Amino acid sequence: MAPEATEQKAVEEITPQEASAELGGGNAKLIDTREPYEYEESHIEGSELIPPGVIANRIAESVPDKSQRIILQCRSGARSYDAAQVLQELGYEDVASMAGGILEWEAQGLPVESNVNLTPAQRDRYSRHILLPEVGVEGQIKMLEAKVLLLGAGGLGAPTALYLAAAGIGTIGLIDDDVVDASNLQRQVIHNTKRIGEPKTASARQTIEELNPDVNVVEYNFHLNADNILDVIKDYDVIVDGADNFPVRYLLNDASVRLKKPVVSASILSFDGQISTFVPYEGPCYRCLYPTPPPPELAPSCSANGVLGVMAGQMGLLQANEVLKLVLGIGEPLIGRLLLYDALGTRFTELKVRRDPECPICGPNAPEVPESEMGKFPDYEAFCGGHVGS
Amino acid sequence: MPSVKIPPVLRKHTGDQTAVDVAGSNVGEVLNALVAEYPDTEEQLFSGEGELNRFVNVYLNDEDVRVLDGLETAVAESDTVMILPAMAGGRA
C-alpha cells in the first residue's frame, strides 16, 4: 500500500455514454458507491453495491484481480471519484469514475432498474425535488400518491393549489361554490381575466391541468355543510383550510378531529396572516386555540376591510409548505404553534398553542361520538352568532 | 413599560397604532390601562362582567395567559402582551 504522504493520483472520469458503451462490451465491472437506500430506489442494471464507507475492506472480495477494469458510480460523481482514489491507492490499475453519477446517467435517458415507478418525464419534471435528499424519488412518489383537499379556491387556496399542483400532489380536491370575479384577480393567481364568470373550481382545474397533467383535480362546486362534510373529507390525507367564515371553520375542525385528518389552517386580513397546523390528538385543534368565535361585528371580512394580495400569496405558500412536510413526513410542521405574519413590518411572530384540557372536541373529557352520530353536527350558524356562511 | 400589540381589528380604536406602551404589573392592569386610554377597545376585550372575552386570546410574549395565571399573570417592563382575536378571511 502506498504511504500516506503520496500525492493522490488524478482519477480517470468518463461520461455515462462512455460507461454505457464499456458495460455493453462486457469487460468492465460497475460498482455503485452509494448507500443501500439509494441503491434500492434505483440503480444501473448489473451494478454491484459497495457503500463508500466499506469499499476499502470489501473490494478485494468483489474484484480480486487488480488489473480488472472498474467503473465506479454514485449519485452525482463525488463519492465515486473519492472511491476511485481509494482503489488506486490499494493498487487497482484500471479505475474510472462516472462523472455526474446516476443523475446524469438518467438525465441522458439511459435506463435504470427501479423499485419505484416514476416515468422518465416525471424524473425530469421533478428532478429538483428528487435532488433533495429529504425528498428523493420516494418522496416524490409520496406526493404523487397524496390526496389533498382545499377548502376554498380563493385568496389562500389559489396560490396553495397552484404550488401543490406544480409540486406533483397527485390528487387535489377543490371546494368552492363561487365564480371568478374581476375583484378576485388581484390575488387569486390560479384564475385569470378570461375566466371571469366561470366557477372557481373549473377555472382552477384548467390552470392545474395545463400546469401539470399528473394531477387529478376533483371539483366540489358546492357549499360544505354538516350533511356532506364527512363524505367529502374522508378520502383525503391532508385538508387545507382557507375558509372565509367561522361556521365552516368550526365544522371542518370538528369533522376532521372525528376522522383524525390533519388540517393546515390559515386566515388573512388586511396586511396580517395567521397559520397553524392541527393534527388531531397530536397537537391542539382549532377549538383549543379559539374556543368560541367572535361576534360578527368584531370579525371583519376581507371583502369589507381589504387584503394585500401578495400577503394572501405568502400565507397560501406557507400552507403549501406545511402540506408537503406532512405528506413527506419531514421537517417540523406548525403543530402547537401559531405563526403570525405582519406584511407591513415583514415580521413573523410565533406563539405557543396548547391542547385545551377542557376542549369539547379533542380534550380528554370530550364525549365520544358513536358511529350512529358521526354525521351529526351542532348548528354552527347559531354557535357563531349569525356569521353568514357563504 | 410593557408593550401591547394591537390586532388589525382593533387598530381603528387605537389611532391605527400597531403597538401601544401602557403601564401595569399584571395582564389585567395592562389591558385596563389600554382600555382607559382607548375606551373603544373595551367591547372586544371584556365581557359585561369584566372577564376577558372567550373569543379573544391574550398572550404574554409567546404563551397564552390562559395557561399562565390569566389576568393575574405578572408582566415585566420588557414584556409584550399580544391581543389575538380569531380571523376567518381566506376564500373570498
List, in order of start, the domains of chain A with CATH numbers.
12-115 (3.40.250.10), 146-383 (3.40.50.720)
pLDDT at A386: 54
- pLDDT, tens digit only, all 390 positions of chain A: 444 555 678 999 999 999 999 999 888 999 999 998 888 778 998 899 999 999 999 999 999 999 999 999 999 999 999 999 999 999 999 999 999 999 999 888 898 887 667 888 999 999 999 999 999 999 999 999 999 999 999 999 999 999 999 999 999 999 999 999 999 999 999 999 999 999 999 999 999 999 999 999 999 999 999 999 999 999 999 999 988 888 899 999 999 999 999 999 999 988 999 999 999 999 999 999 998 888 777 776 666 778 999 999 999 999 999 999 999 999 999 999 999 999 999 999 999 999 999 999 999 988 888 878 777 887 777 777 654 433
Place of cell 363561487: A178
Which residue of B54, B67, B87 is in closest CB contact with A354?
A: B67
Measured between beta carbons, the chain B residues lying within 8 angstroms of A300 are: 9
Residues 6+ apart with CB under 8 A from A160: A150, A240, A242, A316, A317, A319, A320, A323
Which residue of B43, B88, B92 is in closest CB contact with A299?
A: B88
pLDDT band of residue B92 (cuts 50, 70, 90) is very low
pLDDT band of residue B91 (cuts 50, 70, 90) is low
Is pTM, for the whole model, over 0.80? Answer: no
Sign of CA dihedral A367, A373, A374, A380: negative
Residues 6+ apart with CB under 8 A from A201: A153, A174, A175, A176, A219, A220, A221
Q: Do B55 and A290 touch (CB under 8 A)?
A: yes
Q: Which residues pair with A269 in a beta bridge?
A: A272
**Closest chain A residue to the Cα of B42, Cα to Cα:** A298
Q: What does the pLDDT look like over B11-26, one tens digit per residue?
A: 989 999 999 999 999 9
Q: Do A301 and B59 touch (CB under 8 A)?
A: no
Q: Do A305 and B8 touch (CB under 8 A)?
A: yes
Measured between beta carbons, the chain A residues lying within 8 angstroms of B19 are: none
Distance of CA A196 to the CA centre of its chain: 30
pLDDT at A2: 47
Q: Does B47 touch chain A (CB under 8 A)?
A: no
pLDDT at A129: 96
Which residue of B18, B82, B85 is in closest CB contact with A294?
A: B85
CA distance A34 to chain B (A): 44
Tell me the longest C-alpha to C-alpha distance in chain A: 84
Check whether domain B3-85 has CATH 3.40.640.10, yes or no = no
Strand boundaries in A92-153, DSSP class E:
95-98, 113-114, 147-151
Enter the ipTM.
0.91
Q: Do A269 and B8 touch (CB under 8 A)?
A: yes
CA distance A241 to chain B (A): 8
Q: What does the pLDDT look like over B38-74, one tens digit per residue?
A: 999 998 899 888 888 888 899 999 999 989 999 999 9
Return the closest-CA partner of residue A115 out of A131, A97, A101, A136. Answer: A136
pLDDT at A116: 66
